[in-house]
């Protein structure tokens, strides 16, 4: 049995909404099995028609379906989707400067999913999830990514030392974001972000792990008083947007 936040032994993840299933299909993700409540079959007909011929569809009663979904308001369909399989080189494509958010020990699946969604929106080339970070296959995380999970190259389960070594090998400059007001961080507006860049986003309570703070420069966002800190997902969106904006400005004009 596959549960939210876990992968099956064969590397399949549970999808619980029509939108996520559509996103997975549009991204070319394999979906071998689908379970549908008999109460929702008529409404879900157009989606079921999009499934590949080899997909097996099981129909169950509403009562049985309610025992299987993890959402409070199930939408009548569940699907198993193949976990995207990414390689190291997928995160560092030739011809474009790397932009890689590093998620370190984040525990809120909503924050993780929101950051991955922002990463895709602002042109990140991939994402690294350090050991101790919540699973991106948590139901809340998957919903928050709005399908980005299936499209942005992601490696997970790496130690801080492995991530630092990888970024050095790829010659990517490392920054650690600080979501609270501090005095010694480098201001976002004063930092060169046009080259290959990775930015660590740590937990709101502890911040980035010490291994990352020792290996990279601190990066801060100036905040108006009396605000003292930002939610980590908000900080990530601001930083990733600023990097995208700065890179767009540096492009040669036609």
Q: What is the C-alpha separation between 159 and 104, in angstroms, rounded? A: 9
Q: Give residue for tokens 């979904």.
A: 69
Cis-peptide, bond into residue 226, ω within 30° of zero:
yes
pLDDT digits (tens, 9 = 90+) for 101-136: 999 999 999 999 999 999 999 999 999 999 999 999
Report how far apart, in Å, the C-alpha atoms of 86 and of each of 27, 126, 154, 188, 248 are.
14, 10, 6, 30, 27
pLDDT over threshold 50, residue 249:
yes
**Burial of 211 from C-beta contacts in 10 A (0-12 / 13-18 / 19+):** middle
pLDDT over threshold 80, residue 23:
yes
pLDDT grade for 186, boundaries at 50, 70 and 90: confident
Task: Give helix then strand counts, H and E, for the chain.
Answer: 8, 11
Q: What is the mean pLDDT of the chain?
A: 88
Torsion angle (degrees, nearest 10) of CA 153, 159, 162, 165: 100
pLDDT at residue 225 in the model: 81
pLDDT digits (tens, 9 = 90+) for 129-155: 999 999 998 888 988 998 899 999 999
Q: pTM score, two decimals?
A: 0.87
Go through the domains of the chain in sequence order and give each one's CATH number: 12-82 (3.30.1330.30), 88-250 (3.40.1280.10)
Q: Which of 142-151, 175-184, 227-236 has the lowest mean pLDDT?
A: 175-184
pLDDT at residue 194 in the model: 86
């Amino acid at each position: 049995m596959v549960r939210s936040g876990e992968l099956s032994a064969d590397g399949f993840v549970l999808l619980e909404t029509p939108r996520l299933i559509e996103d997975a299909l549009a991204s070319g993700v394999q979906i071998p099995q689908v379970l549908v409540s008999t109460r929702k079959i008529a409404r879900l007909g157009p989606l079921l028609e999009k499934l590949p011929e080899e997909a097996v569809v099981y129909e169950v009663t509403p009562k049985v379906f309610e025992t299987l979904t993890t959402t409070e308001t199930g939408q009548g369909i569940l699907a198993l989707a193949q976990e995207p399989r990414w390689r190291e080189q997928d995160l560092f494509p030739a011809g474009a400067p790397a932009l890689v958010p590093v998620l370190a020990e984040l525990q809120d699946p909503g924050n993780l999913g929101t950051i991955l969604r922002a990463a895709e929106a602002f042109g990140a080339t991939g994402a690294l999830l350090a050991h101790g970070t919540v699973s991106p296959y948590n139901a809340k995380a998957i919903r928050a990514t709005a399908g980005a999970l299936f499209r942005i190259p992601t490696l997970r389960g790496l130690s801080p030392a492995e991530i630092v070594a990888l970024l050095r090998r790829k010659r990517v400059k490392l920054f650690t974001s600080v979501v609270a007001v501090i005095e010694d961080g480098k201001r976002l507006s004063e930092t060169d972000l046009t080259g290959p860049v990775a930015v660590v986003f740590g937990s709101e309570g502890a911040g980035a792990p010490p291994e990352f703070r020792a290996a990279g420069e601190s990066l801060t966002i100036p905040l108006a008083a009396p605000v003292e800190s930002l939610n980590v997902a908000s900080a990530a969106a601001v930083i990733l947007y600023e990097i995208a904006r700065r890179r767009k400005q540096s492009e040669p004009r036609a």
